[in-house]
Amino acid sequence: MNVPDRNMALELVRATEAAAMSAGRWMGRGDKNAVDRAAVNAMRYMLNTVSMDGVVVIGEGEKDQAPMLFNGEKLGLGCEPKVDIAVDPVDGTTLTALGRPNAVSVVAVAESGTLYSPKHIFYMNKIATGPEAGDVIDIELSATENIKRVAKAKRKAVEDVTVVVLDRPRHEELIGEIRSLGARIKLIPDGDVAGALMTCKEDSGVDLLLGIGGSPEAVISACAIKCIGGNFQCKLWPRNEEERVRCLELGMDVDKVLYIDDLVRSDNVFFAATGVTDGELLKGVRYGGEAIFTHSLVMRSKSGTVRYVEAIHKSRKLYEISGVDYRTSQI
């Protein structure tokens, strides 16, 4: 029997827990920048304690726009293994600031050079579903055809299918098509990483994700779905002619379908997520004086293991060993 190599996801979850505990202090206080700042600072601190030589491939902002975790930033102790990192300290900063559900902190890691970089393209058209219907979806088909295929694969009526869609004006036509078919719609204000993952969770009640969302979230969602099972496809969605021309200059085909193996060219992917606010996927952070309670999802594609981790953190002890004060909102 071969000795199993280490599951980095069990270390990454410490970073998502830290980000969630810090960001959760700002729930409902109306300051999305404070949510982001708290999460970024805590996540950066914890990721720099991991034994890895990591580079952020999917992050936010540029170096001069701190406190964002920026593309190209190096994280970890600088030792093997060399890895690509995809991060979203809080997928749903506005959700958190307004006290709304389904905000999560997420991190994904894979071997160096295996994560797709969307470069200057901020949005992608996406479709995602769980294992039962993973083989039947096709982003080049209509929403109507995909819903019918998913219904057949899951042995349910079209009217029983629930589609999650970001609530945006650009989706007016898509929403109209779904409604005309008679399928159910779950409109979400933000947080399409959680939305994509809901399609893979049996008891979530969500069958399919459709529509245009952030390209960093697309790569992170692909990492997660590669671990948990299911299917994810997308296409680049330039916002204007300038972005389209830049794609042509860089050799990026806006008509090409990007499959899950194009987005994550690795079979050894590590993923961790911690709930910031309560949602269908994970429970949010709870504060109980000296104790802080978190709920996390930890996955590895190579083993197929999916863990749900409920943790109790002692804020005073964490402050003594880390310098991150989870007892207050000032990070």
Where is 14: in which H helix or E strand?
helix 9-23
Spatial separation of the C-alpha atoms in residues 104 and 57, rounded to whole Å: 19
Rounded CA Rg of the chain: 19
- Binding residue per annotation — 89? no
- Binding residue per annotation — 217? yes
DSSP state of 160: G
- Binding residue per annotation — 192? yes
- Binding residue per annotation — 93? yes
- Binding residue per annotation — 88? yes
- Binding residue per annotation — 60? yes
For residue 2, give every residue at least 6 positions away whose Cβ sits within 8 Å of its Cβ, in sequence order, or none. Answer: none
Tokens coding 189: 């204000």
- Binding residue per annotation — 169? yes
Q: How do 123-129 and 208-214 pair as beta strands?
A: antiparallel
DSSP state of 66: T
Q: Are 12 and 272 in contact (CB under 8 A)?
A: yes
Within a 10 A sphere around the Cβ of 12, how many other Cβ atoms? 27
- Binding residue per annotation — 81? no
Residue 74: strand, helix, or coil:
strand
Spatial separation of the C-alpha atoms in residues 17 and 89, rounded to whole Å: 10
- Binding residue per annotation — 214? yes
- Binding residue per annotation — 91? yes
- Binding residue per annotation — 191? yes
Q: Kindly write down the DSSP assignment for every residue of 117-129, as one continuous string.
A: --TT--EEEEEEE
Q: Which residues are annotated as a binding site for Mn(2+)?
A: 36, 60, 88, 91, 217
Q: Which residues are annotated as a binding site?
A: 36, 60, 88, 91-93, 123, 168-170, 190-192, 214, 217
Q: Which residues are annotated as a binding site for substrate?
A: 91-93, 123, 168-170, 190-192, 214
